[in-house]
């Protein structure tokens, strides 16, 4: 795919100034997570690899950034009604934490096959949980039904401008940290589910570093964004498939983020579950970090040769680290 022309003049549902305002609103709430680099790993690849460690973020994932920004910008009356959202785990943790900090409450609609540890973590934060069958029901339909019944305010995982501005603060920080490290980014690889982090990162990079190619990275059985980018229109994933990357198992790119991604992304990359397990091992062995499967798809793309890093500088976001020890060990010890 030929990279699109990009400039700071693009205006979609969010702007760089709005992302900067979100960053100001997150001061004292979220952490400025590290950007890791290893001389030994760089020598191995023949290029520079940078890891933006959102697994070290409050709640263990980047999602708190968008959730808090959205709920903070609600009126007092809206916060009193409470928040409702769909989540496979990490966004729910962000919404539940933000709601508690801002004097609101959270109702989470979660697939019934989400790892039990993620559900329990959300319950400990005071969230109510309603489960559904992702093969038989639409998450949007379940959320809408419960919204009408409860009067709660929807805080979507990505299809909301306020959520996107919060998510964009990841790329804002990453760009500044790369500059501090004298790293001129050739590419940014973003784990992609609904496409919110990807879209907001693309907006930030288009404004601050238009020469940086931005890619969505997905599991190969859930590569709806990659296939949709190739087709120029949204294409859904087949039902009934599974991946170990539960955090980014989404049915179809949402309309809001896809329009941004279609205009600004260089393309999409897809990785197998086996490549994801290899990336989890690599991250643990070489960077001493624990990451959940969906968080390392960008690293998996580099390790799997899906993008050439030789002589280049490539960054990726390690989006979350919410995985229980038993599952982490089981995935790492599974035969290749």
pLDDT digits (tens, 9 = 90+) for 168-201: 999 999 999 999 999 999 999 999 999 999 999 9
Please, are residues 197 and 248 in contact by the beta-carbon 8 Å criterion?
no
**Tokens for 5?**
């022309």
Q: Please give the pLDDT value at position 336.
A: 63
**Tokens for 250?**
């989404």
Q: What is the DSSP string of 265-317?
A: --EEEEE-HHHHHHHHHHHHHHH-----GGGGHHHHHHHTTSS--TT-EEEEE
When pLDDT is averaged across residues 116-124 and rounded to a whole number, the result is 86
pLDDT at 3 over 50: no
16-30, 65-79, 122-136, range with the lowest pLDDT: 122-136
When pLDDT is averaged across residues 315-327 and rounded to a whole number, the result is 96
Q: Do domains 16-62+161-333 and 63-154 have the same CATH topology?
A: yes
DSSP 87: -
If pLDDT is split at 50, 70 and 90, which confidence band does 263 have? Answer: very high
Which residues, 6 or more positions from 288, have their beta carbon under 8 angstroms from its beta carbon?
Answer: none
- Classify 190 as helix, strand or coil: strand
Instruction: Round to whole Å and give the CA distance between 138 and 158.
Output: 16
Helix (H) or strand (E) run with residue 276 in it = helix 273-287
**Tokens for 82?**
């409470």
Give the rounded distance of the alpha carbon of 211 from its chain centre: 22
Tell me the CA distances in angstroms from 245 to 161, 191, 223, 241, 271, one per residue in order. 25, 10, 12, 12, 10
Q: Please give the pLDDT value at position 9.
A: 38
70-79, 101-110, 116-125, 312-321, range with the lowest pLDDT: 116-125
Q: Please give the pLDDT value at position 2.
A: 40
Tell me the CA distances in angstroms from 42 to 39, 154, 183, 187, one per residue in order. 5, 43, 13, 15
Q: Please give the pLDDT value at position 117.
A: 81
Q: Please give the pLDDT value at position 5.
A: 42
Which residues, 6 or more positions from 195, have their beta carbon under 8 angstroms from its beta carbon?
Answer: 158, 216, 225, 253, 254, 257, 258, 260, 261
For the sheet with 187-191, list strands across it.
35-36, 48-53, 313-318, 187-191, 213-219, 267-271
Architecture of domain 16-62+161-333: 3-Layer(aba) Sandwich (3.40)
Q: Please give the pLDDT value at position 88.
A: 79
When pLDDT is averaged across residues 37-51 and rounded to a whole number, the result is 98
Q: Please give the pLDDT value at position 138.
A: 87
Please, are residues 98 and 302 in contact by the beta-carbon 8 Å criterion?
no
Please, are residues 294 and 277 in contact by the beta-carbon 8 Å criterion?
no
Locate the domains of the chain by residue range.
Answer: 16-62+161-333, 63-154
Architecture of domain 63-154: 3-Layer(aba) Sandwich (3.40)
Q: Please give the pLDDT value at position 286.
A: 98
Instruction: Round to whole Å and give the CA distance between 298 and 86.
Output: 24
If pLDDT is split at 50, 70 and 90, which confidence band does 262 have? Answer: very high
């Amino acid at each position: 795919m030929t990279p699109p022309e990009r400039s700071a003049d693009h205006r979609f549902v969010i702007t760089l100034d709005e992302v900067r305002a979100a960053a100001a609103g997150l001061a004292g709430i979220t952490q400025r997570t590290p950007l890791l680099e290893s001389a030994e790993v760089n020598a191995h690849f023949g290029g520079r690899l940078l890891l933006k460690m959102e697994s070290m973020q409050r709640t263990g994932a980047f999602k708190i950034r968008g959730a808090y920004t959205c709920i903070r910008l609600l009126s007092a009356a809206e916060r009193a009604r409470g928040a409702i959202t769909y989540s496979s785990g990490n966004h729910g943790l962000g919404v539940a934490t933000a709601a508690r900090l801002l004097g609101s409450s959270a109702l989470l609609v979660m697939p019934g096959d989400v790892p039990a540890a993620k559900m329990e973590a959300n319950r400990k934060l005071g969230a109510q949980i309603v489960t559904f069958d992702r093969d038989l029901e639409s998450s949007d339909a379940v959320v809408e039904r419960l919204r009408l019944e409860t009067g709660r305010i929807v805080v979507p995982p990505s299809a909301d401008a306020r959520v996107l501005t919060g998510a964009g603060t990841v790329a804002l920080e990453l760009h500044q940290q790369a500059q501090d490290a004298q790293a001129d980014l050739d590419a940014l690889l973003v784990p992609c589910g609904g496409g919110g982090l990807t879209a907001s990162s693309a907006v930030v990079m288009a404004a601050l570093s238009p020469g940086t190619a931005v890619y969505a990275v997905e599991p190969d059985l859930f590569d709806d964004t990659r296939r949709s980018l190739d087709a120029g229109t949204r294409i859904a994933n087949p039902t009934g498939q599974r991946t170990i990357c539960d955090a980014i198992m989404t049915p179809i790119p949402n309309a809001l983020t896809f329009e941004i991604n279609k205009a600004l992304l260089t393309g999409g990359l897809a990785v197998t579950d086996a490549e994801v397990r290899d990336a989890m091992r690599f991250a643990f062995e070489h960077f001493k970090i624990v990451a959940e499967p969906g968080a390392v798809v960008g690293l998996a793309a580099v390790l799997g040769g899906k993008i050439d890093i030789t002589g280049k500088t490539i960054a990726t976001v390690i989006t979350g680290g919410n995985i229980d020890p038993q599952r982490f060990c089981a995935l790492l010890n599974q035969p290749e």
